[in-house]
Structure 1
Amino acid sequence: MRIAVTTPTGNVGRHVVTALIRAGVRPRVLARDPGRLAPDVRGEVDAVRVDQYDADAVAAATRDVDALFWVDPTTGGQDPLADYARATASVVRAVTENRIGRVVFQSSVGAEKRHGAGEIDGLAHTESALDGLGVDVTHLRCGYFFTNLDLQIDALRAGKLQVILPLDQPMAWVAPRDIAEVAVGRLLSPAWSGRCVQAVHGPADLTWHQVAGILTAATGRRIGVERVTDDAMRAQLRRAGMTEGLVVAVIGMSTGLREDFVPEQPRTVGTTTPTTLAAWAHDHLRPLLGEGGPA
């Protein structure tokens, strides 16, 4: 089976690549900068330099491919939803022109709303477009990535996370490596066809209060969490250099899912993955934070 992988150096994509290699597959990887591939991986893949917003390049890079792992690229632009639409146009053209029969798409919990969830609306647009192609497609509706905490390293060092969600609202938290394992299973399994939605919920739904306690125990630093207003968070994101359009899209992901939102896929044994936040934080965050700090 000829399998193409996008974002092969990303939080999920890099694990997809190595899992495919272990399965005996030599994947074709579409990378904006192939030089960022790990040195030990470069000889095991066929790397193509591709900008996923370039539909011509994506179509050329996926010629003769049987299956595709597609991730919409991250956007820092003024109009994130327009960027998602451009990426969607690329994958639609590639799948159609090259008759790619199987796609696994990295989506998100909340995409089922279709509208009103900020940046997640861009993923919903890609889902809908892929659904219209009549190919076998699985949408991975992923929970909140553990690695989102990497964006808050300074706050973690200071011992205080700030969020705009209710602190007692549980949500699914998941390790990117676990998402990759589910993606590879779907890419290689012959047991499914048509349109499928596979939620990836991690091992447990966690409130922000629980997250703070887990991070404190795992890192050896006292970490608290407080809820701030939407306006305060907008100001923080602007100070971080985000465009106004991106600020709106990022805030919308939280505001769109905090009022009476219930995921379309309930937690089941099929959606539950093993890596705990405690284990990930001990192995990944603790070394990044280093010694010292409030205990």
Structure 2
Amino acid sequence: MIVITAPTGNIGRKVVEHVLNSNVRVRVIARDPSRLPSRTHARLEVIEGSHNDLSVVDRAFEGADAVFWLCPPDPRALSVTAAYVDFTRPACAAMIKYGVRRVVSISALGRGTPMAANAGYVTASLAMDDLIASTGVSLRSLTMPSFMDNLLRQAAPIKHQGVFFSPINGDRKLPSCATRDIASVAARLLIDTSWNGRDDVPVLGPQDLSFNDMARIMSDVLGKPVRFEQVSFESYKAGFIQRGMSEAMAQGMTDMARAKNEGLDNAVRRTPANSTPTTFRQWCEEELKPAVIEA
């Protein structure tokens, strides 16, 4: 039995599809089961509720061999620790109770780097992994850079103004990955029963690109000029607060961006094993372009 959390999210729904294709039993935890795709709903065992609820994970983890763990976004959390570590505590208790063997978590690059000590969401993600590992489960932490898919949030300014924004230097080359590839790696590990112990699994995408590089590719794919504009860290944080994010979580986003600007995501060397196939150009053609047209 494989349990998948956040099954209606951008990553989780793709994990569900991959794992179902392997003909193993799948149980999901969903706050709103109506959001599950109709084509997969009938093939799933569904536990309704939040996966930070002890009564919910207690039902979900009984008989489970493996768990896909993803903390959902909580923009109004009181701290990044609350959003990641505290959210995960009930699940860890249930993992111990039911002897869950293997966990695949969604985490972040940066372990072992000086920048990771004050990197907001990244720091909290790494602490979350430490908490999960302390239960004695075998753990594979998928350590990711920024997602290409995050740029979908800026589809409107890309369409209407021909611009996208970040506080990160426009010439700093960084790895990025597509959520489709993250889901593929996660599903492969969930289905594979041969691994044990603890390890990080970087998911780096095929190529390091700067935001200026991305702007040139966007311009080519969209057939219109697109430029990158660097904003200050102060205005970056203020924008999140204006959109309703708590001060602590806005600061966490800002600290993470600052750490990435200082090289947090560049510490892991790309290899054939940690490179995933979806190029940024392909992602723009298949994901960004339709989103921009609809924006």
Class of the TM-score when normalised by the shorter of the 2 chains: over 0.9
The correspondence for 1:244, drawn from 247, 260, 263, is: 247
Q: Is the 8 A contact 2:85 2:131 kept in 1?
A: no
Point out the more displaced range, 234-243 or 40-49: 234-243
**Equivalent residue number for residue 202 of structure 1:** 205
Distance 1:190 1:78 in 2: 35
**Equivalent residue number for residue 50 of structure 2:** 51
- In the alignment, does 2:185 pair up with 1:182? yes
Q: Which letter does structure 1 place at the counterpart of 2:108?
A: S
Distance 1:79 1:291 in 2: 34
The correspondence for 2:140, drawn from 135, 138, 144, is: 138
User: Equivalent pairs: percent with the same residue?
Assistant: 29
Point out the more displaced range, 255-264 or 126-135: 255-264
Unaligned runs of 5+ in 2: none
Q: SS of the counterpart of 2:261?
A: coil
Structure 1 residues 120 and 260: alpha-carbon distance in aligned structure 2, compared to 1, 3 A threshold:
closer
**Equivalent residue number for residue 102 of structure 1:** 102
Q: CA deviation at 1:100?
A: 0.1
Point out the more displaced range, 233-242 or 130-139: 233-242
Distance 1:267 1:136 in 2: 24
- In the alignment, does 2:276 pair up with 1:277? no
Q: SS of the counterpart of 1:139?
A: strand
Distance 2:289 2:132 in 1: 39
Distance 2:224 2:58 in 1: 48
**Equivalent residue number for residue 68 of structure 2:** 69
**Equivalent residue number for residue 33 of structure 1:** 32
Q: CA deviation at 1:75?
A: 0.7
- In the alignment, does 2:16 pair up with 1:17? yes
Structure 1 residues 63 and 220: alpha-carbon distance in aligned structure 2, compared to 1, 3 A threshold:
same
Structure 2-normalised TM-score? 0.93
**Equivalent residue number for residue 267 of structure 1:** 270
Distance 2:182 2:169 in 1: 26
Q: CA deviation at 1:216?
A: 1.3
Distance 1:138 1:291 in 2: 37
Aligned residues: 291
Q: Which letter does structure 2 place at the counterpart of 1:92?
A: C
The correspondence for 1:153, drawn from 140, 152, 155, is: 155
Distance 1:23 1:112 in 2: 35
Q: Which letter does structure 1 place at the counterpart of 2:30?
A: A
Distance 1:171 1:191 in 2: 32
